[in-house]
Structure 1
Amino acid sequence: MVSGATSLSLVRDELFTTIEEAESSLEQFIAERHNGSLLQQAVENLQQVRGTLNLIELAGAELLAQEVLDQATDIPAGAGEERDVQLSALSNALHVLRRYLENVDAHRQEMPELLLPAINDLRQAGGQPALPESFFFSVRLDHARPRSTPVALDAAAKEIEGRRLRHMYQVGLLGFIREQNPQASLKLMGRAMGRLDSLYANEPRGRLSWIGAAALEAQVDGQLLARKSRKQLFSRIDRELKQMLGNGQYEAPRSLLKELLYLVALADSRGPVATPVRELFGLTPLPFTDHLLEEEYQRLAGPGQAVMRSLSSAIREELASVKDMLDLIERGTLQADNLSNLHALLGKLSKTLGMVGLSSAGNSLSAQLQTVAGWSEESPPQTQELLKLADAVLYVEGMVASLERGERRDARAVQAQPGHEAESFAYHQLNEARIVVVDEAQAGLALAKRAITAYLEASGDRMHLSNVPFSLQAVRGGLWFLGQERAALLVGACAEYIQKQMLEAPQMPSEQMLETLADALSSLEYYLEAGAVLRPETQPSVLDLAAESVRALGLPVAA
């Protein structure tokens, strides 16, 4: 039996006609809510649509049609304003369903993931939980992880270390949720999960840390979007960590592990943490990327190409009228009516362009309104003023042409500050100097971390550390220059530990202590990467985290 995308052409005309009838009945019902027969007609059409999609086995489209049908059946005749959100979600879902089927018919390719946002909008409007991103993704979760050597710590020390690492994860999570340098935040979260994995590697509860670290690496490597669903997913991990640290028999929920593995598959990361996870679970690259999904969904949710072509055609006609008026003005056949019509037309076009997402084009016309308002037969426009308006019109024409191509690009206007150039320049120079100091500090911390790794791999060869205390003292001085006294003291403490416990001591510290030192340096590095130096309003909790690690090294730290 022919099924899926290939069989859509067999029922295409009847299916699209039925969807359009359902849309029409629903729109009429929204306007005439007392008329229950309109709603009933929409429900009957939706039942037919759902049945047809089930017959040709378009699973994603059938699921959306089923959700639409369930929601439509739930709405009573005479529904009031309390149902507006639900009705809006229904209308939008039908639009997305039709656009999706048009794409499947044109390209013979199914991508049911594109329908999840519309499905979840419907479910949210109806008070139901959202479906996860991995809903259409399949993976076996019962593969046994290869055994490894965990860190040798007693139960009490593990508990203390686990709490510190959870705090590290929380600091990164807060930055990710707030989108304050998300990449740096994700790296800090990933380090915390990797370190937790080293504590619980061969225990059932360690599975969450192992797969979670891989998902975080994938989120960074694949440059996956910071979607609301992902912020919720990584927040859920924090809640699970609380249970994991307090319960030696803890096992992560399978639904959570599946979501994390979906991110690994979506990013197709080749990183050192994600690769063994991907290989063990047999994760193959998905036929789409995160950014492709976003672009395609925006295209589905937006107006159809026929609508945009019609709209751009109407706008171009009005632009032609503007150019005709400018031509008359330039020839000297200036009339008061021409000027008032020109002003009104520019204002109307400006608002229309803003409504379709071309705000910079609308702003370029809006900026000309005051100039045009000053024109009159007694005070005709200057040549330079006409040229500026003509340039704006040509710019708008180029932007409008993008509507027909289905693009939604918008140029950002540069905000000028006349009269404050000297002050702005001085501020800019100071800011540039601060940025250079921060960059040098980051480089110094990164150098120290690499040197510690080399020292560990070389079984304590001090040669790798010879320049590290000097580099960290330079970082410390830069932080004092920036007014970051607390951060400077913590860097100085790390330099002191390296000098006394690694360069001068007869034996190298334990691997656990070296990892703790790296945690302190990673926290300070994150503090710099996340912009805390240049934006003082950033929460000081990152420095609290660095201080915890320094204390764990046995060094005194001022509160």
Structure 2
Amino acid sequence: MVSGASSLGLVRDELFATIEEAEASLEQFIVERNNGSLLQQAVDNLQQVRGTLNLIELTGAELLAQEVLDQATDIPAGVGNERDAQLAALSNALHVLRRYLEGLDAHRQEMPELLLPAINDLRQACKQPPLPESFFFSVRLDQARPRMVPPALDAAAKESEGRRLRQMYQVGLLGYIREQNPAASMKLMGRAMSRLDGLFANEPRGRLCWLGAAAVEALNDGQLLPRKSRKQLFSRIDRELRQMLVNGSYEPPRSLLKELLYLVALSAGRGPLAGEVRELFGITALPFTDHLLEEEYQRLSGPGKAVMRSLSSAIREELASVKDLLDLSERGTLQDDGLTSLHALLGKLSKTLAMVGLSSAGNSLANQLPVVSAWCEGAPVESEQLIALADAVLYVEGMVATLERGERVTTPRVEPEVCTFAQHQLFEARIVVLDEARAGLALAKRAITAYLESSGDRMHLSNVPFSLQAVRGGLWFLGQERAATLVGACADYIQTQMLDTDQMPAEARLEVLADALSSLEYYLEADAGLAQPSVLDLAEESVRALGQEVAA
């Protein structure tokens, strides 16, 4: 028997007509809630839809239809506003089901994962637990991992180190949940999970750390989106870590391991951990990517809403055209039609800026229109006027940068142009200093790795203390005294314990040093001053573990 997407064409017309009838009946019932016959008609149609989908074996679509049917049957006639969310979810689910089947009819490719958001919206409306992302994913979970070299630590030391690494994971997790530089947050989470994996690799409980580290690596390398379900998943891992650290016989739930393996399968990243897991579990590439799923989600449920970012990009392009025309004017090569274009661009931009709430920026350009209009009529272009117009354009560019950074402008603020321009320049300077600081920390980490791999060749570290002291100075300049002090402590440790002595520190000590530098690097990547103070607490704890004194 022909089944699946290939058989949809056989029942297409009748199926779509039945879905449309169900939608119409449900929509009418939402208006006339005392008319139970409308709801019953919708239920009858839904039963027919579900039966048809079962017959042609469209599993995902049938599951959504079953969820819709169950909830429609649960709604009594005469319901009040307390069921509005459930009725809205039902209406949306039918819309998604029809759009999904239309796409399936056109492309003949099943992708039931697309229906999970609608299914979970329905389940949430009636307070049922959501289905996991991996619901339609299959994998064997009983693959054994090759044994690793165990760490030379006793149980108490492992427990103490485990608690510190869990704190590192929590710091990264908090940044990931808040979407404060997710890439940097995941790097910190990944380091914590990898280090925990090294502690417990040969124990059953270590399986959570192993697959967790691979999933975080896949999430970061594959640039998977920070969905709510994934934030909940990694929050659940933190709770499991708490149990793991106090229970030596702990074994992670199989459902959790399946979720982690699904993320590894979904990611296109090719990191070493994820690659090892894919090979061991025989995971093949999925026929879709996370971003393709997101695009299809949008197609099914409506367009995205990143209007302000798109608008800022368009404004920047027009500002670039204005600056090109000003450059020609300064050189004396701008023709009359160029002046006309300049006037039109300034007028258009001033109106656009006013519409998005940047009234002061719009006014600054509008104030220049009479001057440009006079140029169009033959008045000479005075250098003072040209400078004033250029200043206005730079001021607007600084204001538009707030849109580019994703900051919503809720209340128009009128500020002196010179003040806002100066703030923009200060912001740009701050970015440069932070970039240099991040580069210095990254250099130090690479040098320590080379030092370790070369069995203690101090040549690799010769410039590291100087680089870290430069980072320290930059952080002092930014007013980040505590971070600067911690960077200085790391520099002192490298100088006194690695350069000024012939004895190479134990590898475990070098890992702690790397933990401190990773925490500081995360603090900077998450934008120093905006990251939570606990990041510096974590770095300070690592520095103290190295025996370095840090002022309270």
Shared topology, TM-score over 0.5?
yes
Code of the residue aligned with 1:529 in structure 2: it is E
Structure 2 equivalent of residue 114 of structure 1: 114
Query: Aligned-pair distance for 1:20?
Result: 1.0
Query: Aligned-pair distance for 1:421?
Result: 2.1
Structure 2 equivalent of residue 301 of structure 1: 301
Query: Aligned-pair distance for 1:426?
Result: 1.8
Of residues 510, 514, 518, the one that matches 2:510 is: 514
Structure 1 residue 551 and structure 2 residue 544: aligned? yes
Structure 2 equivalent of residue 258 of structure 1: 258
Structure 1 residue 527 and structure 2 residue 523: aligned? yes
SS in 1 for 2:136: coil
When residues 73 and 417 of structure 1 are mapped into structure 2, their CA distance, relative to the original with a 3 A threshold, is: closer
Structure 2 equivalent of residue 44 of structure 1: 44
- Spell out, residue by residue over 1:485-519, the C-alpha distance to the aligned partner (whole angstroms, 9 max, x if none): 11111111111111111112232111111000000
The answer to whether the 8 A contact 1:99-1:300 is kept is yes
Return 5+ residue gaps in structure 2 as ranges.
304-351, 364-372, 374-403
- Spell out, residue by residue over 1:109-157, the C-alpha distance to the aligned partner (whole angstroms, 9 max, x if none): 1110000000000001111000000100111000000111132111111
Code of the residue aligned with 1:482 in structure 2: it is L
When residues 366 and 33 of structure 1 are mapped into structure 2, their CA distance, relative to the original with a 3 A threshold, is: farther
When residues 17 and 414 of structure 1 are mapped into structure 2, their CA distance, relative to the original with a 3 A threshold, is: closer
Structure 1 residue 448 and structure 2 residue 444: aligned? yes
Structure 2 equivalent of residue 61 of structure 1: 61
Structure 2 equivalent of residue 473 of structure 1: 469
**In 1, Cα distance between the equivalents of 2:62 and 2:209?**
36
Code of the residue aligned with 2:531 in structure 1: it is T
TM-score (ref. length: structure 1):
0.79
Structure 2 equivalent of residue 276 of structure 1: 276
The answer to whether the 8 A contact 1:26-1:42 is kept is yes
When residues 185 and 136 of structure 1 are mapped into structure 2, their CA distance, relative to the original with a 3 A threshold, is: same
Q: 1:190-339 alignment to 2 at 5 Å?
A: 190-302=190-302
- Spell out, residue by residue over 1:145-201, the C-alpha distance to the aligned partner (whole angstroms, 9 max, x if none): 011113211111111110110000000011111111111001000000000001111
Code of the residue aligned with 1:478 in structure 2: it is G
**In 1, Cα distance between the equivalents of 2:532 and 2:83?**
41
Structure 1 equivalent of residue 321 of structure 2: none
Structure 1 residue 489 and structure 2 residue 485: aligned? yes
Code of the residue aligned with 2:484 in structure 1: it is A
Query: Aligned-pair distance for 1:24?
Result: 1.3
Structure 2 equivalent of residue 14 of structure 1: 14
Structure 2 equivalent of residue 342 of structure 1: none
Query: Aligned-pair distance for 1:419?
Result: 6.3
Query: Aligned-pair distance for 1:363?
Result: 4.4
Structure 1 residue 436 and structure 2 residue 432: aligned? yes
Query: Aligned-pair distance for 1:413?
Result: 12
Of residues 533, 538, 549, the one that matches 1:540 is: 533
When residues 362 and 259 of structure 1 are mapped into structure 2, their CA distance, relative to the original with a 3 A threshold, is: farther
SS in 2 for 1:130: coil
Cα root mean square deviation, aligned: 2.4
**In 1, Cα distance between the equivalents of 2:481 and 2:301?**
51
Structure 1 equivalent of residue 163 of structure 2: 163
Structure 2 equivalent of residue 72 of structure 1: 72
Q: 1:363-382 alignment to 2 at 5 Å?
A: 363=355
When residues 8 and 146 of structure 1 are mapped into structure 2, their CA distance, relative to the original with a 3 A threshold, is: same
**In 1, Cα distance between the equivalents of 2:176 and 2:93?**
30
Paired residue total: 461
Which stretches of structure 1, 4 residues or longer, exceed 3 Å deviation after superposition?
360-367, 412-419
Of residues 491, 498, 503, the one that matches 1:502 is: 498
**In 1, Cα distance between the equivalents of 2:94 and 2:274?**
38
Structure 2 equivalent of residue 149 of structure 1: 149
**In 2, Cα distance between the equivalents of 1:248 and 1:418?**
62
The answer to whether the 8 A contact 1:89-1:125 is kept is yes
Query: Aligned-pair distance for 1:420?
Result: 2.3
Q: 1:347-386 alignment to 2 at 5 Å?
A: 363=355
**In 1, Cα distance between the equivalents of 2:494 and 2:58?**
62
- Spell out, residue by residue over 1:446-493, the C-alpha distance to the aligned partner (whole angstroms, 9 max, x if none): 111001100110111111111111111111111112111111111111
Tell me the percent identity.
80
**In 2, Cα distance between the equivalents of 1:473 and 1:300?**
54
Structure 1 equivalent of residue 177 of structure 2: 177
**In 2, Cα distance between the equivalents of 1:543 and 1:19?**
57
The answer to whether the 8 A contact 1:137-1:262 is kept is yes
